[in-house]
Amino acid sequence: MSRKISESTVRRLSQYLRILEAREARPGATVSSTDLAAEAGTTAAQVRKDLSLFGSFGKRGLGYAAGDLADRLREILGLERVWRVALIGAGRIGSALFEYADFRRRGFDIVAVLDNDPGKIGTEWSGAVEVEDVEGLEVVLQRESVDVVIVAVPASAAQEVSDRAVTAGVRGILNFAPLQLRVPEDVSVQDVNVVTELEALSFDLTHLHATGTD
Amino acid sequence: MSRKISESTVRRLSQYLRILEAREARPGATVSSTDLAAEAGTTAAQVRKDLSLFGSFGKRGLGYAAGDLADRLREILGLERVWRVALIGAGRIGSALFEYADFRRRGFDIVAVLDNDPGKIGTEWSGAVEVEDVEGLEVVLQRESVDVVIVAVPASAAQEVSDRAVTAGVRGILNFAPLQLRVPEDVSVQDVNVVTELEALSFDLTHLHATGTD
DNA sequence: AGGTGTGAACACTTTCACAGCA
DNA sequence: TGCTGTGAAAGTGTTCACACCT
């Protein structure tokens, strides 16, 4: 069924879905590629190309049925199920993520939290999940049928934790550690690196200033 | 001076720099494009292309002088100065970011924190910065000569806050709100969106499974 | 030999422009 | 007329392959 879909297309699909959800469209409402493009900060042609990669579900002369389009996007993105997520690392980032209610609402359920700090192990978070010893990583991942792990440990521990999760069968990793994780081909890693984003800003600012003179 | 440098090149430069810094190279140490590529998860040709966009500072047969290369990268990325950052939004994400010491070490100094919650305004964070009322945004940004703002407020408030920061002269925005900020051409925005990253994982996992059957 | 710097080939993405349906 | 769907054209980014220096 699937051609090769680019990373950027997937990112935009996620964005389109968020836009549609924010509108909580009344039944029957329609949306055009021009609409979506304006809000997503891209072009109408881009929106149509992205969507047409998965079939043609627009009506010529009208646009897309907003509700149907949202459903279709959820289906394409694999969001019709609940993903079971384990959070590895109960530090600042970990706890901020855990408290971020949007995950749960969007189908990512944090079913386990692990850390190696004895002061944290055994404590209960939000009266729901107990922090467990990362020592027992494999057991926890299996017991909870975890699909995805969030790596929120220091860089020095990240590769080991990732290796163990992969060995335990995990195929998706959201990585907050500032290094490139080495994983087998069939494992998908997404990186979040705020320092890199800031450095990209720094680059832009430094070189934007130069635009006038060059 | 500057040709058009792609977003992806800049991201990789940041990564190369981090790799070099992690090695705390002894003076005189050298590093080859093959080395860097292996650790960064890219190809040697890519590394050389990226670096050659800014001049030729490698030695044929030898590689790059690690220390010099790191210096050059910092210069290219505009990291030879300290960037003054204001954090708008003192919620979960905001506080996690504030506590993340790496920023300061890397030249991003959070000089102001703003929020609209009366319970937070006036409190001191890390005995260093006092949370101020977002009401006075413009005054604070000017007083502190802020270069970059981090937008960590709910989506509903993000565009307004961004507009006000831009009007006050800010040219760089790190955006954590899940929407596309509208800004003038000469303002650079970098987005961090964890939900999109998770949805990209969800997409990959859903479609990797299919590879066998298709 | 070993490893850089780079034009030229290739692959991928975005934009254009228009045929075709509601 | 209005707006989608899509081949073809244009534009960007990556990989190849090799001349050249140490």
Q: In the listed set B29, B51, B76, which residue is the last one of a domain according to the structure?
A: B76
* Strand C at less than 7 A from CB of A102: no
- Residues A164, A120 within the same domain: yes
Distance CA A82, CA A78 (A): 9
- Residues B50, B28 within the same domain: yes
Task: List the A44 CA – C18 C1' distance (angstroms).
Answer: 15
- Residues A130, A182 within the same domain: yes
- Is residue A85 within 8 Å of residue A149, measured between CB atoms? yes
pLDDT value for B101: 80
- Rounded average pLDDT over B41-48: 98
- Residues B67, B95 within the same domain: no
pLDDT digit string (tens) for chain A, length 214 residues: 456 899 999 999 999 999 999 997 778 899 999 999 999 999 999 999 999 999 999 999 999 999 999 999 999 999 999 999 999 999 999 999 999 888 999 999 999 999 999 999 999 998 889 999 999 999 999 999 999 999 999 999 999 999 999 999 999 999 999 999 999 999 999 999 999 999 999 999 999 866 543 3
- Rounded average pLDDT over B194-203: 98
CB contact under 8 A, B14 and A41: no
Which member of A15, A97, A180 has the closest CB to residue B196?
A15
Q: Which chain B residue is nearest to residue A9, measuring alpha carbons?
A: B200
Chain B residues with beta carbon closer than 8 angstroms to that of A206: 77-78
A211: in domain: no
Distance CA B173, CA B50 (A): 25
A 10 A CB-CB count for B63 gives 17
Residue A133: which H helix or E strand, with range?
strand A129-133
Nearest nucleotide by C1' from B51 CA? Answer: C5
Which member of B174, B198, B203 has the closest CB to residue A201?
B174
A 10 A CB-CB count for B2 gives 13
pLDDT value for A212: 44
Task: Categorize the per-residue pLDDT at B213 as very low, low, confident or very high, splitting at 50, 70 and 90.
Answer: very low
CATH at residue B158: 3.40.50.720
| Segments forming the whole domain that contains residue B171 | 83-195
Distance CA A174, CA B24 (A): 27
Domain tally, chain A: 2
Is residue B211 predicted with pLDDT exceeding 60? Answer: no
- Residues B115, B160 within the same domain: yes
- pTM beyond 0.85: yes
Higher model confidence: residue B1 or residue B12? Answer: B12
Q: Please name the residues in contact with A168: beta carbons below 8 A apart, sequence gap of 6 or more.
A: A137, A138, A141, A142
pLDDT tens digit sequence for B163-184: 999 999 999 999 999 999 999 9
